[in-house]
């Protein structure tokens, strides 16, 4: 879109606007298609930075996974984005543009509009608080995409102050906590943010969030071989689950990345972990990874070269 395209304006006005102003819209730089139907897009910002977003289609849902920052400052050891320095926050309009472009992609390739949005791409949403909330305000506005906030999930690695702020702001969208380890000792090993936002502080913040909003939270838990996949680890996870009004624990398949030492557990170990949670009345769901063959799955977004 450029000022020259605004044919409802006079030619002189369009020329003056073009000389004095810019429209810093996001553009699609490259697109990659997975064998399972997932589509990964690399977007370019007006100042030349690259970010990635993913369209994840299923039989009943068409979900956009969007980024909130260029890079990330949290350095989680299992996440490819964590090995990229944070360049800057995305502006609210850049986040909105991502959603709009993925929605166009969904309509063109799948014949359906987006049904859901997850802030689970590059960056930590609660460290770009104002722009993330402003983008959601725009996405849910009748003048924007008119999407229900209940179809939007913001995932955080655990910024307790930000979780509390969401409660104070009485947000209507869903919240997910990327837990991934259920003791401070293990979480510290893989998520440095746990140094300043330990599990107790997160439990307190999540309970405050629920008290203010009435919205139950979701826990995200990636299984790593011989690290957090034992019955003892499941017991620790159950303890946390019972301290917070949570509607679901998403157990996530690990997707190996070049820089990390972790491995995916054997299928029997995954099934045993799920069975153990089920026996203890934990509402848990195994989330199978999508788009692994194009590095579009959970934890794999890293602006790799797309051919």
Q: Which of 27, 77, 70 is nearest to 51 (CA)?
A: 70
Query: Could you count the other beta carbons within 10 Å of the beta carbon of residue 246?
Result: 19
Residue 241 has φ and ψ, to the nearest 5°, of -55, -35
Q: Which residues contact 102 (CB under 8 A, 6 or more apart)?
A: 41, 53, 54, 55, 64, 66, 114
Q: Judge contact between 220 and 155, C-beta under 8 A.
A: yes
Q: Where are the alpha helices (DSSP H) in 226-289?
A: 231-241, 267-279
Q: Which residues of 107-124 are buried (b: 16+ CB within 10 A; e: fewer)?
A: eeeeeeebbbbbbbbbbb
Query: Catalytic amino acids?
Result: 52, 298
Q: Which of 5, 56, 54, 45 is nearest to 287 (CA)?
A: 56
Rounded distance between C-alpha atoms, residue 119 and residue 75, angstroms: 18
Helix (H/G/I), strand (E/B), else coil: 169: coil
Question: Residue 279 to residues 42, 238, 276: CA-CA distances in angstroms?
Answer: 42, 11, 5
Query: Could you count the other beta carbons within 10 Å of the beta carbon of residue 268?
Result: 8
Structure tokens at 7: 């044919």
Helix (H/G/I), strand (E/B), else coil: 56: strand
Rounded distance between C-alpha atoms, residue 180 and residue 34, angstroms: 26
């Amino acid at each position: 879109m450029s000022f020259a395209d605004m044919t409802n304006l006079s030619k002189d006005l369009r020329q003056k606007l073009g000389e004095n102003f810019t429209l810093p819209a996001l553009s699609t730089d490259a697109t990659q298609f997975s064998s399972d139907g997932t589509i990964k897009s690399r977007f370019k910002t007006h100042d030349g930075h690259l970010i990635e977003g993913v369209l994840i289609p299923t039989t009943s849902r068409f979900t956009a996974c969007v980024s909130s920052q260029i890079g990330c400052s949290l350095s989680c050891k299992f996440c490819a984005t964590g090995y990229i320095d944070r360049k800057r926050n995305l502006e609210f309009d850049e986040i909105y543009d991502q959603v709009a472009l993925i929605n166009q992609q969904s309509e063109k390739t799948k014949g359906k509009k987006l049904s859901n949005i997850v802030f689970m791409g590059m960056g930590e949403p609660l460290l770009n608080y104002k722009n993330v909330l402003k983008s959601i305000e725009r996405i849910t506005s009748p003048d924007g995409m008119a999407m229900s906030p209940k179809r939007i999930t913001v995932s955080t690695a655990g910024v307790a102050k930000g979780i509390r702020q969401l409660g104070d702001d009485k947000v209507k969208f869903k919240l997910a906590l990327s837990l991934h380890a259920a003791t401070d000792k293990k979480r510290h090993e893989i998520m440095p943010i746990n140094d300043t936002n330990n599990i107790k502080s997160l439990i307190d913040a999540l309970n405050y969030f629920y008290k203010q909003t009435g919205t139950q939270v979701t826990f995200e838990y990636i299984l790593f071989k011989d690290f957090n996949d034992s019955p003892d680890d499941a017991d620790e996870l159950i303890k946390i689950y019972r301290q917070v009004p949570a509607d679901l624990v998403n157990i996530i398949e690990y997707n190996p990345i070049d820089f990390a030492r972790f491995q995916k557990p054997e299928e029997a170990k995954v099934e045993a972990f799920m069975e153990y949670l089920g026996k203890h009345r934990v509402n848990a769901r195994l989330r199978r990874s999508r788009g692994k063959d194009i590095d579009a799955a959970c934890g794999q977004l890293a602006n790799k070269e797309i051919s």
